[in-house]
Amino acid sequence: MGTLSALLRRLLMTLVVIVCVSIITFLATRLLPTDPAALYAGPRASAEKIDAARLALGLDKPLVSQYLTFAGDALRGDFGVSFRTRQPISADIARFLPATLELIVAAMFLALVIGIPLGVIAAARPEGKLDQVLRLFAISLASIPGFWVAMILQLVFFKWLNWLPLSGRVSTETMLFSPIESITGMGTVDALITRNWVAFRDAFAHLILPALTLSLYPIGLALRMTRGAMGAVMSERHITTARAMGLSQSTILFRFALKNAIVPVLTVLGLTFAFSLTGAVLVEVIFDWPGLGAYVTAAILAVDFPVIMAVTLVGTVIYVGINFLVDLAQAMLDPRVRLS
C-alpha cells in the first residue's frame, strides 16, 4: 500500500506539473504584443478576414474558455493548425519527433559506451594521472560550446577529410534511388527493418556528426557521475573482500563496483535524455536535421503560437514522463530507494 500510495502521489505531481506548464505557456502566448488572428489570416489580410480568423480560432471568447478548449483538444491529441505550414500540428509533430528521438538515442548510446567505461577507468586509480586527465576531459566536454564543436566537426570530416556528409538526414541520391520506407520515422531503424542497406549506410553516415555533437555533454556527465559513484563504492566491504580473494581488477571494477554504482548514473542520463529535447534544437539547425528542434525554431521565427504551445507541452510531457520512469526504475533497481 505504501508503494502504491507513493506511486499515485508521483503521478499526481506529474499531472500538476503538466497542467501548470500548459497554463503558463498559454498565458505567455496570449500576452505577447501580437495578434494571433492577424498572423493566421496572413500578410495583407483585410479587417474582415482577420475578424473571421478571430472567430474561427475562438479568440473572441474569455481566456478561461480559450484555455479549456485548448486543454480539451490537447487531451485528444489535437493541437490545432500551424499558422506557417497550414497543416495539423499533431501530424507535423508525428513527422518531426522521430528524427529528434533518433538523434537523442544515438547520443545517449555514445554516452553509455564511452562515458561509463571512462568513468570506471578514472575510478580505478583515484587522483592518478589518468584520473586527472579524464576529469579534465569531462569538464572540457561540458564547457565547449556545442555550435563551435559542430562547425569544427563539419570542417574536419566534411571539408578536409571528406569522410562524412555536411548536413541533412539522407543524400539526394538515396531519396531518389533507395528511398527509406517510413515505419517508425527513424531513418536508420527503418532502413534496418526493410533491409535497405544502401539507405542504412547513408542515413548512418548522416547521423554520426550531429549525434557526436549532441553526445559531448552527456559523455562528460556520465564520466564524472560514474567516477564519483565508483569512488564511493570502492571503499565498501564487499570490494575489500573481493580484493582479498585475489580477483582481478577488471572483475572487481566492472562486475562488482559498477553494478552498485550504475543506478545514479542511469538516473542522471535518463534526465539528460529528456533535457536533450531542448538541447537538440541548435544541433538540428546547424546540421539541417529535420527534427522537432528545427520545426519549433521555424515556428518561433514565424511567431507560430499554436506550434510553440504544442511543442512546449509535448516536451513537458516527455520530460516529466521520463523523470517519473527514472524514479520508478531507480526504486526497482535499488531497494534502498523509495518513491517520495
Is residue 248 included in any domain, yes or no? yes
Per-residue pLDDT at 1 exceeds 70: no
Contact predicate 227/135, CB 8 Å: yes
- pTM for the model: 0.85
Percent of the chain scoring above 70 in pLDDT: 92
Grid cell at residue 65: 474558455
117-126, 274-283, 298-307, 329-338: segment of lowest average pLDDT: 329-338
Q: For the beta carbon of residue 55, count every other beta carbon within 10 angstroms.
A: 12
The string of pLDDT tens digits covering residues 78-95 is 888 888 888 899 999 999
Per-residue pLDDT at 2 exceeds 70: no
Per-residue pLDDT at 335 exceeds 60: no
Residue 106: predicted pLDDT:
94
SS3 290: coil
- Mean pLDDT estimate for the chain: 84
Summarize the confidence of residues 174-183 as an average pLDDT. Answer: 92
Confidence label for 171 from pLDDT (cuts 50, 70 and 90): very high
Query: How many structural domains compose the chain?
Result: 1
Confidence label for 196 from pLDDT (cuts 50, 70 and 90): very high
Contact predicate 298/137, CB 8 Å: no
Confidence label for 333 from pLDDT (cuts 50, 70 and 90): low
Confidence label for 198 from pLDDT (cuts 50, 70 and 90): very high
Beta-carbon contacts of 149 under 8 Å, excluding residues fewer than 6 positions away, are: 213, 216
Q: Domain of residue 144: give its range.
A: 91-305
Phi-psi region of 127 (alpha: psi -120 to 50; beta: other; left: phi over 0): left
Angle of helix 63-75 relative to helix 2-31, nearest 10 degrees, comes to: 130
* Spatial CA neighbour of 289 closest among 88, 144, 154: 154
Contact predicate 212/150, CB 8 Å: no
Per-residue pLDDT at 339 exceeds 60: no
Is residue 316 included in any domain, yes or no? no
Residue 162: predicted pLDDT:
92
Is residue 171 included in any domain, yes or no? yes
Residue 3: predicted pLDDT:
62
From the number of C-beta atoms within 10 Å of its C-beta (0-12, 13-18, 19+), residue 31 rates as: exposed
State the CATH number of the domain containing residue 294.
Answer: 1.10.3720.10
CA gap 184, 188 in Å, rounded: 10
CA gap 89, 74 in Å, rounded: 11
Confidence label for 213 from pLDDT (cuts 50, 70 and 90): very high
Is residue 69 included in any domain, yes or no? no
Choice between 299 and 274, residue whose per-residue pLDDT is larger? 299
Is residue 197 included in any domain, yes or no? yes
DSSP 74-140: HHTT---B-TTT-SBHHHHHHHHHHHHHHHHHHHHHHIIIIIHHHHHHHHHSTTSHHHHHHHHHHHH
Confidence label for 104 from pLDDT (cuts 50, 70 and 90): very high
Is residue 202 included in any domain, yes or no? yes
Tell me the sheet residues that pair with 81: 88
Residue 305: predicted pLDDT:
83
Choice between 103 and 4, residue whose per-residue pLDDT is larger? 103
Alpha helical stretches, state H, the chain: 2-31, 36-41, 47-57, 63-75, 89-110, 116-124, 129-143, 146-154, 172-177, 187-193, 197-233, 237-244, 249-251, 258-286, 292-301, 305-333
Residue 207: predicted pLDDT:
95
92-96, 197-201, 232-236: segment of lowest average pLDDT: 232-236
The CA-atom distances, in angstroms, between 215 and each of 109, 210, 219, 221, 223 are 8, 9, 6, 10, 12
Is residue 299 included in any domain, yes or no? yes
Is residue 53 included in any domain, yes or no? no
